[in-house]
Structure 1
Amino acid sequence: MRYHTGDLDNQNLIDLYLGMLKPRMIEEKMLILLRQGKISKWFSGIGQEAISVGVTMALKETEYVLPMHRNLGVFTSRKIPLNRLFAQWQGKLSGFTQGRDRSFHFGTQEYKIIGMISHLGPQLGVADGIALADMLRRKRKITAVFTGEGATSEGDFHEALNIASVWNLPVLFCIENNGYGLSTPTNEQYNCEHLADRAKGYGIESRIIDGNNILEVYSKVDELCKAIRKRPRPVLLEFKTFRMRGHEEASGTKYVPEKLMKTWAEKDPISNYEAFLFKEGVLTEESIEKFKTDISQEINDNLQLAFDEDTVHFNESKELSEVYQDSQYQQIEPKSDSKEELRFIDAISQGLEQSMFKHNELIIMGQDVAEYGGVFKITEGFVPKFGKSRVRNTPICESGIVSTAMGLSINGMKAVVEMQFADFVSSGFNPIVNYLAKVHYRWNEKADVVIRMPCGGGVGAGPFHSQTNEAWFTKTPGLKVVYPAFPYDAKGLLNTAINDPNPVLFFEHKGLYRSVRGEVPADYYTLPLGKASLLKEGEDLTVVSYGAGVHWALEILEKHPEIQPDVLDLRSLQPLDSDAIFASVKKTGKLIILQEDTLFGGIASDISAMVMEECFQYLDAPVKRVGSLETPVPFAKSLENEYLPQKRFEMALVELYEY
């Protein structure tokens, strides 16, 4: 192995050596503890230390780095206290996830490290978002993100590269090509000679670097970093290396040919570099021994601190209260009495525009949202007011854009993502339910993202443009779900959703966009999430609904003046105003719940169960649930009319009234 010191002095050379030595010695200690049952799992980076250390030391401490589970050298190079790392791996309270997640599945703003999730791919898009925030603020910074060669087969990898290329984001995409994705060799993972060649398809630069040569890693990455800070752009780096141990310790390495293991063992990044420094007189036997003794002492002292710490004690109220970031709702009343009659769609547009003025670092992203104004024209005219830097057309890549929004939030900005249709959110499902929803509970990070969801049937749009899929998200702790029915509510709730630091799915029924009008304050105002609206008051029964269902219920009730109900518009499904539901049911003794979604597994089922548990003694009849037919949404009007629940609701309403 050839080493070129360039203009590095002896202290620089020693720092790089110590940078690799410390994670190697920690790993060796962890492998002992794993066999002793004192930690539960370990993903080894032995043989790959030069990559983590070289990249991190080439970055500035203020620049974000997004490592994987073999990048211990990133954490040690950023000088994270070892006792906190050890506590993290033991599931102790002083660990970064307080026992809620394991291994390197955490981030820390203090050290500008954003850890992985097990789904791997989304963190590449998160890096895009972090870099986008720096670029918009004109900060000359780089974001470095790691992935393995296996994850380059995921769609998120390709989406992230494409986004970075189109927007010219200063991201270093670092591929650690270590030969195997668990047990699958590279020749069964991809059919190109070098993964670096994939950069050509996205119009970006790439480099191939010897990942076992610390001086090559550091010098080439350092040179690139200096160049990118002057001329921001993405670069794909492929580090050729090898994983000397199993994917994780339980998997072993029997699938690796012995000759291959021996070849790479001879390329060990630490022993070779140590021998080079010894030969050059930079290191001596005495200095090597002292370094190892000092590191060993540091490891043992910090391990003892972690061992001495009590195990995490379960506290139910604490667990529940930390799923979401605490958000103190601020009631903002309109400054004047001026009102205007707006369509549902115009109220959303007005709220979004006023929020853009209120938050100068709020970014709107989505397909065709810029000059075209979105397919529903909600952002029409926004570009002249806010510029294309804040109103951003995106490639068709929902997963990558949701992850990018998460990165914007991590770097202190707000994001609104428009799904062209709510149906398309399935392509961005993973980062929503596994990253945005869990990030605060896991390591106390906000996901300041609103995802707008044009949804609903009744417009003859068929199975892929008509779904109302709120139940996909009400099941997921960490997400908030809002579903207004009237222009006044839509504007006020959207403003609140944007103010809220938690991820919000904001459902907008397409059928209401241009068919429903109402008086709306001209000024900016907010409405609280989790507060239902009582639209009608009566004694006979309680009707609960949301979205278009509210209008259907009101229309059908007009045909039955003999029925005097409470009508509750939920407005928000998570948080849910269960108190309002219970109070009404206790008064009327009867409940019917109408949802547009198919019945099984929907919000109506949960409300019914809650009422049965909390209000059983007040009920004078079984709870009724009404939803759409258990089929995909059909296209033909004659089929869709029977699919939707209006007729079934009217029958159930009369039946409940007469019970």
Structure 2
Amino acid sequence: MPTETSQKLSYNRVDLSDDILLRLYYNMLKPRLIEEKMLILLRQGKISKWFSGIGQEAISVGVTMAMQNDEYILPMHRNLGVFTTRQIPLNRLFGQWQGKASGFTKGRDRSFHFGTQEYKIVGMISHLGPQLGVADGIALANLLKKNNQATAVFTGEGGTSEGDFHEALNVASVWQLPVLFCIENNGYGLSTPTSEQYNCEHLAQRGEGYGMESHIIDGNNIIEVYTKVNALAESIRENPRPVLLEFKTFRRRGHEEASGTKYVPEDLMQYWEEKDPLDNYRNYLIEEGLLNSEKDAEMVAEIKSEIDDNLEIAFAEEDIIPDLTTELNDVYKPYDYQEFKENSNNQELRLIDAISEGLKQSMERHEDLVIMGQDIAEYGGVFKITDGFVDAFGKERVRNTPICESAIVEAGMGLSIAGMKAVVEMQFADFVSSGFNPIVNYLAKSHYRWGQQADVVVRMPCGAGVGAGPFHSQTNEAWFTKTPGLKVVYPAFPSDAKGLLNTAIIDPNPVLFFEHKALYRSIRQEVPTDYYTIPFGKASVLKEGNEISIITYGAGVHWALDYLNENPNVSADLIDLRSLQPLDKDAIYNSVKKTGKALILQEDSLFGGIASDISAMLMEDCFEYLDAPVKRLASIETPIPFVGQLEAQYLPKKDLGDAIEKLLAY
């Protein structure tokens, strides 16, 4: 425990003007008074939850005042001072906490789980780590635009245990991104003390391991926070680099109010109450002759009046009336699909070449497009799809990444927030599990939550047939087709792959783009040479018949084609779905209503796959047209084995003829 004499804060105004000193006080006073009011409203049942930052105002206010208004800040749920210092109208903040339409999320998310481009604030999600990688992406955009801007992102000491923290710091250091990583070390992660969170003396020491400058700052001393952060922000604008800041402070209320603070020793609480940033600074201003009780009372009265007036506006606002159309329409960012027609000049390309050509032509068309992935630069990627791209577009736009899928997906999101586009290559689709959280919880939900597009394409080399085993052969589209907010595309032919990839890059929504490895070099086709697009949600009818509908995608298309070519007596509709989300229901229904029999073929294992959903849709919407039960055919319920004979047993290709013949005979 520090000695009693160390509790008094010491201020050094350096060359700060009287005006700045008073603004620092006013900006701390405002969130404190709002919080005190919120605690009353919480007890009255007029708000549902509150995460208190009382005692930590100096960090939020000092950092925000040090940043320029057009620079992004990514705060957490104890950083009310960021929002008030950026002068967000209080009625909108109160409306947000009340779940009113005047808030920022239309009642879809609570407290500080929102962002606003107007005020250059990007709020947190409950999975704390992704904020840090998103800040990397915004800083990368600043670096590429050469706009001399900094980015500040907050985390707590508990959040530094997450893998995203370490990935984000590593990426920022390797790429020398102008980011201020702000750790609010406030003593406890919910009830877990710092002694059980990490085993180093100071979290700032972690900067050394990443080759990163770091500083320890007294988070309760507003002048120290402001002056040091201001100097560092000015420095990294001119000399881009990341800086790790550990603010020593304390959380004097519960993690949220319902948690309480019974686990905190009383003498520790008393120690930090005596280090209150507002009380100490008020006394300093009075000693300096810059503030007196009358002027202080005027400030308090002014802020309280503003709070009461804006609360009245928020309380008077009508509750949101649920509207199903609005809810569904806000999951994806609307955009007008612009068709670029195929040209008359064709060349024979393999699937892999068509993807490479589409990616290259998109890079030429979209100068704000950045490609990121492991080994994609000089090496050209493990499949050589980006071979030669560094020579064509430079290393700034074709970026090798460390092995940190999560941070790179998050960086893609940050690029989108900053108005750019990103293509992220998973070296193998299997590895996306290491970046799963930001895809399904950040990219997928951002537009629904606060209207922010996630202009990110994740390329997914997938599939069996190449003897690559359990960790390089999965076709894991079902992980994403069930997540609202994501689009999922899965072409089977070179011409489709090129046109659909171009569309994916134009589309402002997050797209998972699956590329079957076994088809990369085995499938050839005449492909238009110029840039063109193909709309999502439009299946391709490859063969037409009257006896059976075969509905499939990816490698399954070629298995079905092989069977039908070898059995010309079978009269079948063969539907290549091409995109799985959105899905072409009309093509499926029209075919099944004609043939009366449906077989849905997928490479993925059966349970929980898209075949199950299509089957259920047909039973619900086409039951009266069916002449037989809907048949699903998929791989067996095991991980994918390596050796050829086991892989052949795993895949459904061997069972396709049997399944078709039994269904025809039903």
Mark yes or no: TM-score above 0.5.
yes
The 2-side partners of 1:304 and 1:580 are apart by 53
Query: Equivalents in 2 of 1:628, 1:399: separation in Å?
Result: 29
Give the corresponding residue for 2:539: 532
Deviation at residue 39 of structure 1 after TM alignment: 0.8
The alpha-carbon deviation at position 562 of structure 1 amounts to: 1.8
Query: Which residue does the alignment assign to 1:400?
Result: 407
Cα distance per residue 1:137-158 (max 9 Å; x no partner): 1110000000000000000000
Equivalent residue number for residue 345 of structure 1: 352
Per the alignment, residue 294 of structure 1 pairs with 302
**After superposition, where does 1:199-238 map in structure 2 within 5 Å?**
199-238=207-246
Superposed, which structure 2 residues align to 1:182-331 within 5 Å? Answer: 182-331=190-339
Distance 2:62 2:56 in 1: 10
Report the CA distance between 1:649 and its aligned residue. Answer: 1.9
- The count of aligned residue pairs is 658
Offset of 1:79 from its aligned partner?
A: 0.2
SS at match of 2:457: strand
Deviations 1:396-416 (A, max 9, x none): 000000000000000000000
SS of residue paired to 1:542 = strand
Residue 176 of structure 1, aligned match among 154, 177, 184: 184
* Residue aligning to 1:575: 582
1:48 aligns with 2:33: no
Cα distance in structure 2, aligned partners of 1:574 and 1:566: 21
How far is the alpha carbon of 1:109 from its aligned partner?
0.3
Displacement over 3 Å in runs of 4+: none
Which residue identity does 1:174 align to in structure 2? C
Instruction: Report whether the alignment pairs 1:588 with 2:632.
Output: no
Structure 2 SS opposite 1:445: coil
Cα displacement (A) at 1:518:
0.4
- Verify: 1:504 aligned to 2:511, yes or no: yes
Structure 2 residue runs without a partner (length 5+)? 1-8
Alignment of 1:474-553 (within 5 A): 474-553=481-560
Other structure's SS at 1:295 match: helix
State, as a whole percentage, how many aligned pairs show the same letter: 72
Structure 1 unmatched ranges of 5 or more: none
What one-letter code is carried by the residue in structure 2 that aligns with 1:631? T
Distance 2:440 2:427 in 1: 19
User: 5 Å matches for 1:461-472?
Assistant: 461-472=468-479
Which residue matches 2:97? 89
Other structure's SS at 2:13 match: coil
Which secondary structure does the structure 1 equivalent of 2:118 belong to?
helix
How big is the alpha-carbon RMSD for the aligned residues of Structure 1 and Structure 2?
0.5
Which residue of 2 is the match for residue 120 of structure 1? 128
**Separation in 1 of the partners of 2:586 and 2:39?**
52
Counterparts of 1:372 and 1:11 in 2: how far apart (Å)? 56
What letter matches 1:495 in structure 2? N
> Could you tell me how far 1:247 is from its partner in structure 2?
0.4
Give me the whole-angstrom Cα distance separating, in 2, the residues matched to 1:483 and 1:94.
Answer: 39
Deviations 1:43-66 (A, max 9, x none): 000000000000000000010000
**Shift of residue 558, structure 1, vs aligned partner:** 2.2
Q: Which amino acid aligns with 1:338?
A: N
2:349, 2:567 → 1: CA distance? Answer: 29
- What SS does structure 2 have at the residue aligned with 1:466? coil
Letter of the 2:413 counterpart: M
1:652 and 1:313 map into 2 onto residues whose CA distance is 49
Is 1:423 matched with 2:430? yes
SS at match of 2:604: strand
CA–CA distance in 2 between the matches of 1:399 and 1:498?
A: 20
356, 359, 376: which one pairs with 2:363?
356
Structure 1 counterpart of 2:11, from 3, 6, 14? 3
CA distance in 2, matches of 1:338, 1:554: 26
AA aligned to 1:363 is V
SS of the counterpart of 2:25?
Answer: helix
Q: Which residue of 1 aligns with 2:453?
A: 446
Distance 2:505 2:567 in 1: 39
Opposite residue 26 of structure 1, the aligned amino acid is I
- Aligned partner of 1:390 in structure 2 is 397
Aligned-partner Cα distance in 1 for 2:29–2:270: 21
- Taking the TM superposition and a 5 Å limit, the aligned residue runs for 1:109-148 are 109-148=117-156
Amino acid at match of 1:171: V
Residue 384 of structure 1 aligns to a residue whose secondary structure is helix
Secondary structure, counterpart of 1:110 in structure 2: coil
**What letter corresponds to residue 182 of structure 2 in structure 1?**
C
Shift of residue 626 of structure 1?
A: 0.3
1:242: Cα distance to partner? 0.2
User: How far, CA to CA, are the matches of 2:425 and 2:495 in structure 1?
Assistant: 20
2 CA distance for matches of 1:471 and 1:547? 13
Q: In the TM superposition, what is the alpha-carbon distance from 1:560 to its structure 2 partner?
A: 2.1
Q: Deviations over 1:325-375 (max 9, x none)?
A: 0021111013x4110000000000000000000000100000000000000
**TM-score, normalised by the number of residues in structure 1:** 1.00
1:650 is matched with which residue?
Answer: 657
CA deviations on 1:282-334 (whole Å, 9 max, x unpaired) are 00111000000000000000000000001111000110001000021111013
Q: Write the distance in 1 (CA, Å) between the matches of 2:141 and 2:494.
A: 32
Alignment of 1:23-62 (within 5 A): 23-62=31-70
**1: distance between equivalents of 2:402 and 2:247?**
28
For 1:460 and 1:289, the matched residues in 2 are separated by 76
- Tell me, in whole angstroms, the C-alpha distance in 2 between the residues paired with 1:54 and 1:191: 28
Equivalent position to 1:624, from 622, 631, 648: 631
1:372 corresponds to: 379
SS in 2 for 1:626: strand
More displaced 10-residue stretch of structure 1: 398-407 or 8-17: 8-17
Letter in 1 for 2:422: A
Structure 1 residue identity aligned to 2:321: H
Deviations 1:487-525 (A, max 9, x none): 000000000000000000000000000000001000000
Whole-angstrom CA distance in 2 between matches of 1:548 and 1:417: 23
Which residue matches 1:554?
A: 561
